[in-house]
Structure 1
């Protein structure tokens, strides 16, 4: 088998198996593969309310940071500003993705979620870099920080962020858009913890450098999380094999279905992190009903891997040259 990273949508084959209806009429309008309205209102509602609470607290935190002189609070307020924008993008992505497919966009608007996640990851990177830069400036020119006001504002922020984290965590963790929103809130939560720690140390010892030090520490954690989201979104946009799947393993599961003589040209990719798709060629054993085997293959892929959209082409004897391996994964262009 070749590398498992080859997952690509199928090109024009003569005998693609579509249960009913046509691709040109829009998926989800009669072919049994619903791509238009699958994102639940629950995810959209969760992101909306977390966005509202984040925006309200952002104003309070920025004010508290300015009055106390705390870089940790100001940095976290800036982070929450980016989070408000990011959560708005996530909310809009969920709204758009629920729109039905049409003649121009036969898979609907699901990919907008992935674009929003990519943008969110990029903003996390920029915010973290800015905080690190400001921290270096604080080391060169120390600023007095008022520990009392800083502690109060940071503690309120911690409560808000814990609430937002719990709301989003109960959503669909497979959705990269939801995960990016969750990571933004996690970054805010870490920022609040850092600000509380810095405030307590300043009140106890008067040591001001702890404020920029903890700011840098949180920024490095945010960078790591941001990279994870960017990598996941990039893999989806490049139509790579979804996380947690391996092309050869999928091939072996298909080949194990009774009546299958061989499987070729396997493509596995994701429209989003949770809407998985596959296409491949099947060779059937003599006398086996094609419809029965295809139904069994679809059921196995859905149960075993969560792949809900499957395009199958049944090859006639002799379609593949002698010596062709019974299983392989390749880009069939």
Structure 2
């Protein structure tokens, strides 16, 4: 437990630092966008706004994930992180629509843009994003959906800032202003890509989907192969809360000499091979005849042979 606690703390500090940097630069970009008349800067600021929100939600999520489970919330507040990621993804999509709408309007009626101001803000934003990305990338982000979401955002921003700098240079040297709305649309496409992935992942978890890295049918086969006493596995329910996979299953076994030892072996197997620390196993000696048992491919196979 101590290990995850310090890791959480580290994540929290990194998120906090990234949050401050991003929030400050978002304000700078909005000011810069309004002063220079650049939509690419405003698009990037819109992007940074969702980033700031993402980081704030990730911060709150880390905070809530530490809360101890209660009798009302037996899993603690872990789902909050998933909900945060979901809300965040939707916000990203909405902002993208607004930016693209404005870009199309700008193509019809080009507006003058101050390239110099745009360049200065763009370069500053680039460094801010590099710093944030570096901060988050040193977190244990592979495991944490929220830190990963935040890092994704910042990466998109980084590309957005590169775009803003490029657009500023084009405008300064050629005076071709349509490059600005064009780039704001490109930034938006990047945002949509990361938002869509985030939306799918968080929705899957909210709908109690099985974690994507776990294949239920394969798990069933491996369990039977790994523990000879196990004859059939059915009524499997597998879902995820926060970062933890949770599972319930019925196992038909050959009546053992030592019931508890076999149960312990099944738990050990699930933990060792699938990192499932929390499994509820119901052991049965009779063959399951209920219709529900046919859910497992194996017992469907057995049923077939009986006919």
Q: What is residue 306 of structure 1 aligned with on the other side?
A: 275
Which consecutive residues of structure 2, in runs of 5 or more, have no partner in the other structure? 300-307
From the superposition, tell whether residues 141 and 162 of structure 1 become closer, same or farther in structure 2 (CA, over 3 Å).
same
Moved more, 73-82 or 37-46: 37-46
Q: What is residue 131 of structure 1 aligned with on the other side?
A: 99
Query: Is the contact made by 1:265 and 1:328 (CA closer than 8 Å) also made in structure 2?
Result: no
**Which structure: greater helix fraction?**
2
**Superposition deviation, residue 249 in structure 1:** 1.2
**Superposition deviation, residue 319 in structure 1:** 4.6
Q: What is residue 154 of structure 2 aligned with on the other side?
A: 185
Distance 1:67 1:240 in 2: 47
From the superposition, tell whether residues 288 and 141 of structure 1 become closer, same or farther in structure 2 (CA, over 3 Å).
farther
**Superposition deviation, residue 288 in structure 1:** 4.6
From the superposition, tell whether residues 143 and 193 of structure 1 become closer, same or farther in structure 2 (CA, over 3 Å).
same
Distance 1:135 1:206 in 2: 17
Query: Is the contact made by 2:142 and 2:148 (CA closer than 8 Å) also made in structure 1?
Result: yes
From the superposition, tell whether residues 298 and 204 of structure 1 become closer, same or farther in structure 2 (CA, over 3 Å).
farther
Normalising by structure 1, report the TM-score: 0.82
Distance 2:78 2:110 in 1: 48
Q: What is residue 45 of structure 2 aligned with on the other side?
A: 77
> What does the per-residue CA deviation read over 1:293-332, in whole Å, with 9 as the maximum and x for residues that have no partner?
332222232232222211101113255479x7795489xx
**Superposition deviation, residue 43 in structure 1:** 2.0
Q: What is residue 176 of structure 1 aligned with on the other side?
A: 145
Aligned residues: 294
Counterparts of residues 1-333 of structure 1 (less than 5 Å): 40-170=8-138, 171-258=140-227, 259-272=229-242, 274-320=243-289, 327-328=296-297
Q: Which has the higher contact order (CA 8 A, sep 6+)?
A: 1
Distance 2:103 2:294 in 1: 59
